[in-house]
Amino acid sequence: MAKIGVFDSGIGGLSVVRAIKKEMPGHRIIFKNDAEHVPYGTRSIEEIYGFTKPIIRQLVDEGCDVIVIACNTVTTNLISRLREDFDAPFIGMEPMVKPAAEASLSGIIAVCATPRTLQSKRYDWLKQKFAPGVNVLEPDCSDWMLMIESNKLDREKIAKTIGEVCEAGADQIVLGCTHFHWIEELIKQAADGRAKVLQPETPVITQLNSVLQQLGRAL
């Protein structure tokens, strides 16, 4: 049995915990978030780093064999820095630009993510590397995270945003924030078959299993 740490700024990471438990039930999962400072998506990188580092330290000190950064904002801006700070395997979550671009028939995809993720150098690299000829739409989802954290969804507003990217030709919609996994069905309903919705829980679990095998901790 391995001890798996999962970190997110808020409740979004619980969807990742649920997915890991379903596929890898024999392992122990330690979940930590930062309810005091959520959301991260509009904060400065240094603020986010200051909040994140001590929580990761707790996971390391509690003996986690591997740590999943279930936060696109932290992954795209800080995972390299965290790898330098801590001698522990990290698995990050970042927008699935590559598979979306490869699957798109229209040449138009949409990425739903926080402002800080969309402004990151890593996200820009993902677009340049894997979607050079693709039109990447980036709808304003800046208030979705707070809606989900507070359980006060504006379903009509979310549906309108998704409808607009579909009408603009997007046939792939990337969920670039783990909070958005909680409203995946709502987003699929709004897309109404016009676009496929992508989120990275399955590939993260595949990567997690690979890391545990390398560590000799797979079941």
User: 116 with 184, same domain?
Assistant: yes
Under the banding of pLDDT at 50, 70 and 90, the label for residue 192 is very high
Measured between alpha carbons, how far is residue 219 from residues 24, 28, 111, 118, 183 in Å? 8, 12, 35, 37, 32
The answer on 123 and 134 residing in a single domain is: yes
Q: Is the pLDDT of residue 70 over 80?
A: yes
> What CA–CA distance (Å, rounded) separates 21 from 176?
21
Q: What is the pLDDT of residue 179?
A: 96
Let me know if residue 59 belongs to a domain.
yes
Would residue 219 count as lying in a domain?
A: no
Check 64, 141, 166, 177 and give the catalytic one.
177
Q: How confident is the model at residue 217 (pLDDT cuts 50, 70, 90)?
A: confident
CATH of the domain at 174: 3.40.50.1860
Based on the domain organization, do 128 and 143 belong to the same domain? yes
H-assigned helices in 1-71: 13-23, 45-61
Question: Alpha helix (H) ranges present in the chain?
Answer: 13-23, 45-61, 72-85, 97-103, 115-118, 121-130, 144-149, 155-167, 184-191, 201-214
Task: Tell me which of 71, 112, 141, 166 is the catalytic residue.
Answer: 71
Q: Are residues 102 and 86 in the same domain?
A: no
* pLDDT value at 213 more than 90: yes
Is residue 219 scored above 90 in pLDDT? Answer: no
Is residue 108 in a domain? yes
Mean pLDDT of 92-100: 98
**pLDDT confidence tier of residue 154, bands split at 50, 70 and 90:** very high
Cβ–Cβ under 8 Å, residues 36 and 63: no
CA distances from 173 to 6, 7, 45, 90, 196 (A): 25, 24, 26, 26, 6
Segment 7-32 mean pLDDT: 96
Residue 59: domain span: 3-93+201-214
Report pLDDT digits (tens) over 54-63: 999 999 999 9
Question: Rounded to an integer, what distance in angstroms lies between the CA atom of residue 179 and that of residue 21?
Answer: 18
Same domain assignment for residues 149 and 191 = yes
The amino acid sitting at 160 is K
User: Are the C-beta atoms of 51 and 69 separated by less than 8 Å?
Assistant: no
109 and 188 in a single domain? The answer is yes
Residues 130 and 191 grouped into a single domain: yes
Instruction: Give the pLDDT confidence of 126-141 residue by residue, as tens digits.
Output: 999 999 999 999 999 9
pLDDT band at 84 (very low <50, low <70, confident <90, very high): very high
Do both 101 and 128 map to the same domain?
yes
- Check if 71 is active-site: yes
pTM (predicted TM-score): 0.95
Q: How many domains would you assign to the chain?
A: 2
pLDDT band, very low/low/confident/very high, at 36 (cuts 50, 70, 90): very high
Q: Is 166 a catalytic residue?
A: no
Calculate the average pLDDT of the chain. Answer: 96
Share of the chain above pLDDT 70, in %: 99
Distance, CA of 160 to CA of 106 (rounded, Å): 20
Q: How many residues does the chain have?
A: 219
